[in-house]
Chains A and B, each alone.
Chain A
Amino acid sequence: MSATTVDTATPDAAASGDVLKTKSWKGPIGLGVVALISLLIFGFGTPSGSDTTFVVATSSDFVHLPTLTLPSKIAAIVLSVIALALAGYSAYLANQYRKPGLWLPIVYGMAVMGALLSWAGAGRDNTSIQITGLLTSSLFLAVPLIFGALAGTLCERSGIVNIAIEGQLLAGAFFAALMASMVGNAYVGLIAAPLAGALVGAVLAIFATKYWVNQIVVGVVLNMLVIGLTSFFFSTVMSDNPDLNRSLGLAALPIPLLSSIPIIGPVLFDQNLLVYTMYVVVIVFQIMLFKSRWGLRVRAVGEHPKAADTVGIKVNRTRVRNTILGGAIAGLGGAFFTVASGLAFGKEMTAGKGYIALAAMILGRWSPRGALAAALLFGFADALRVQLGIIGSDIPSQFLAMFPYLATIFAVAGLVGHSRPPAAEGIPYKK
């Protein structure tokens, strides 16, 4: 063999490296187990002869879709079997070292959820499953998670771990309520909230890049600090002056025509300004992060800061800017809890949503698009809990309340696939 035929310059090293790859059965097994449970409990556990009613229409729809009434048991069994078949297909792909497309988990999830709803709604003649309502509240409940996960993505892509999302959400919620109440206009809250979040982000950035303090510790401390400060002002200044903490809400702004499309319309296009802002922010950052000069540099700083430095990119400046920007976005998400929900500020009202947002960031593999999908999943879990509570399901409400968190643990434990964080996250850059 001559020297040229074993030329290591060609990327054949990569190709032969794949041969060493072992088969990963984690995904197919996980899908299979859940599908089996679905078949046993939802399928065979549903009493025969009962029906489940699904309502998909709302009054404002352009076209009125009929109400769907299905035999509960058969529907649950059929949907579970579909899920089982999809698990089998993913096992078949894994055996050939291939990965299923995005459609598989989506269709699978819809099948299992359909089975769950058929089971839960079985035999309840006077209540029905409100599909549109379920989806609308899913999206709405996902809003703070999306902003939070996006904030985390922006920070971690530049190499800073932002555990302080919880604090940024809370600071945003507080400041939005305060400023909106003072001015008497809910929209002012949308300007105030990002300022508060950016401030928390700036503190994190300074400690992380200038003093090289462990970023997780700073983040946790900041969360505690914000809880302490907001609780203090809530129980002193705000309770003394109720005018400083009013329940002001953003009005829903239905978009003409689009909002009359059945199902999609009321879910996506009959929302308030914060939700529309979320659409724009996700799309803009998805493009910016992966297609712009700024994004390329941010990613380089988060993966290999020294390499970025050697081509003249200011590593710590990039990190500080991103952390402040991330803080602002999380702060804006905080406005959800007060002005966007039409509520006054309440003590610790973010209730750990910032941590769930971190999970959504990981599950979404540090991309805005992924963060959106993951946050919607968590939002759906939350909305499902509410919906099942309304129809009076047999599942204890405590278990339903646990559901999003269980989903988080499984998601973060990597059941959904191996995810790879930016290589340099959490490591201070010292010259």
Chain B
Amino acid sequence: MKLELRGITKKFGDFTANDSIDLVVEPGTVHALLGENGAGKSTLMNVLFGLYDADGGDILLDDEPTVFAGPGDAMAAGIGMVHQHFMLVPVFTVAESVMLGHEEVTGPAKLLDLGAARAKVKEISDRFGFHIDPDAVIEDLSVGAQQRVEIIKALSRDAEVLILDEPTAVLTPQETDELLEIIGQLRDTGTAVVLITHKLREVKAIADQITVIRRGKVVGTAEPTASQEELASLMVGRDVSMTVSKEPAQPGEPMLVVDGLSVVDPATSLKHLDRVSFEVRAGEILAVAGVQGNGQTELAEAILGIVPSAEGAVTLDGRRLTGSSIREALDAGIGFVPEDRTEDGVVADFTITNNLILDLYDKAPYSKAGAIDTAFAAKNAEEQVERFDVRTTSTQALAGSLSGGNQQKVVLARELARDLKLLIASQPTRGLDVGSIEFVHKRIIEERDNGAAVLIVSSELDEVYALADRIAVMYHGRIVDIVPPDTDRDTLGLMMAGAHEEEAA
């Protein structure tokens, strides 16, 4: 089925998320929709899928204008979507998840025909070699398997157009390769595939056509033969360097020593972190790689003391931190860039000025006689905004009004304002545009060169390679191995799935 979008416009208040976008997807092709986070790709697809009403424009299927009142209509018309955040009920089985919304019933009491649903899952699963058990419960499946359930869901409704929204964000490199293979198979059976992504590597690997979106507008199309630099500059709107240069590390004494640290979930008594031990030396960057949800978040938070550790010890520069308060840990010289900057990094309803002194407001020179020295805080804000290139109209602007990249710069500016012995940064560039990524990486490397120990948690391998002096790979709450930064992508990928280095290599 041929899909055509003509002049799609979608506004949220004053903000135009999609500005008369045109797009044609032919059957049996993979069309990549390339753009940075916030460029309007997902909005466009949600319009197409009937989740949002468009403010203008037409959707044509096989040249017939179509109107979708809701996702039900879109699915009935043969459009399937695999959302970035999976639309699966965690406590349902695979068969239940796949049948939901178009259930077959059987018998006089019209009860669910689970047998038919199971058979359907099995048939599609076998056709593509998915190895999905129809009776498995969703929350027990790996992220990659859940994604395949989503694809089965779309195919079970005979989708002829399949939209994949940032499908590789949560996958290991091997799972990514497998997914690209599946996409290829679907294309060969005549499905029109729309691949939404900001990852250039994947676009080049699988796409037949590329449409680039920036700030809600189509800014150009490209052939898959275009170079990564060409695609990146089209995406960002200016030339960007894809790598940040850094000197070799000059590691000193061990600064952070983590010994047998465990974190237990109080509700389920599952171990998020299972006796993790490692050290980070002064002047080196240890990057923790791994698929999201393998204990990296808990590791970063347990070192600072945000989540209590069940056993083990954390030592910073010879001083035991275990059992001390978060305030004591910060005063000992830890800088912390949280994973979710909007929720945990800034107070959205505070000004930039106040956000910059959240950790220092009660210390001289920010505080005088028990009150905040507002003049000094304002001066500090001006300097930091200048130094960190925070794009804002005023230091009195609310942090919530800033873009993600600028919020992250505010967080970094605040955390790096103190003399740090250890910088912990979780997903420091998630959702940032290519230009901001470059800036953040430079600052982190600077901090290392100033002699701080740096612990990076990242699920983006590109970022791990850009920053790491050593790479620790986490899987199921344990550190699988710590390897040098020249370890190749495939080996890391296998380690992220639990294999040890010698097995993976």
Residues in A lying within 8 Å of B, measured CB to CB: 1, 3, 6-11, 13-14, 16-17, 20-22, 24, 287, 291-293, 296-297, 299-300, 303-304, 306-313, 418, 420, 423, 431
Distance A10 CA – B175 CA, assembled complex (angstroms): 12
Contact of B83 among A9, A14, A310 (CB under 8 A): A310
Q: Nearest chain-B residue to A3 (Cβ)? A: B174
| Contact count band on B | 35 or more
Known: A6-B494, A418-B268. A20 touches B172 (CB 8 A): no
Contact with A along B102-125 (1 / 0, CB 8 A): 110100011110000000000000
Interchain CA distance A420-B269 in the complex, whole Å:
14
Chain A contacts of B109 at CB under 8 A?
287, 292
Contact partner of A8 (CB less than 8 A), chosen from B72, B83, B86, B497, is B497
- Count A-B pairs with CB separation below 8 Å: 137
Q: How far is the CA of A3 from the CA of B131 in the complex (A)?
A: 15
B386 CB to nearest chain A CB (Å) = 39
Q: How far is the CB of B115 from chain A (nearest CB, A)?
A: 13
CB<8 Å pairs between A and B, sample of 20: A6-B174, A6-B498, A8-B142, A8-B175, A9-B132, A10-B131, A17-B476, A24-B269, A292-B109, A292-B110, A296-B103, A296-B112, A299-B89, A304-B87, A307-B87, A307-B89, A311-B71, A312-B75, A418-B268, A431-B51
- List the 7 closest pairs (A to B, CB-CB), nearest first: A312-B72, A311-B101, A14-B140, A307-B87, A1-B503, A20-B271, A8-B142
Q: Is the CB of A309 within 8 A of B51?
A: yes
- Inter-chain pairs besides A20-B476, A291-B111, A307-B89, 9 sampled, C-beta below 8 Å: A9-B145, A13-B140, A14-B140, A20-B477, A292-B105, A296-B100, A299-B89, A300-B92, A312-B101
B361 at interface, CB cutoff 8 A: no
Partner of B494, one of A3, A14, A20: A3
CB B74 to nearest CB in A, in angstroms, measures 9
**Chain B nearest Cβ from A420, distance in angstroms:** 8
Chain A residues within an 8 Å CB radius of B131: 7, 9-10
Please report the C-alpha to C-alpha distance between residue A6 and residue B90 in the assembled complex, in whole angstroms: 23
Closest to B140 in A: A14
Interface string of B63-86 (1 = CB under 8 A from A): 000000011110110000101001
Known: A292-B110, A300-B92. A9 touches B142 (CB 8 A): yes
Nearest A residue (CB) for B177: A3
| A11 with B96, Cβ < 8 A, contacts A6-B499, A17-B270, A304-B88 known | no
Question: Which residues of B come within 8 Å of A, CB atoms?
Answer: 49, 51, 70-73, 75-76, 81, 83, 86-92, 96, 99-103, 105, 109-112, 130-133, 136, 140-142, 144-145, 148, 153, 172, 174-175, 178, 264, 267-271, 274, 476-477, 494, 497-499, 503-504
Cβ of A297: which chain B residues have Cβ within 8 Å of it? 100-101, 103
Q: A21-B269, A287-B111 are in contact. Are A8 and B172 (CB under 8 A)?
A: yes
Given the complex, which residues of B lie within 8 Å of A20, measured CB to CB?
270-271, 274, 476-477
**Interchain nearest-CB distance for A11 vs B (Å):** 5
Report whether A303 and B90 are in contact in the complex, using a CB–CB cutoff of 8 Å. yes
Find chain B residues with CB under 8 A from A307 CB: 86-89, 100
Complex alpha-carbon distance, A418 and B265, angstroms:
13
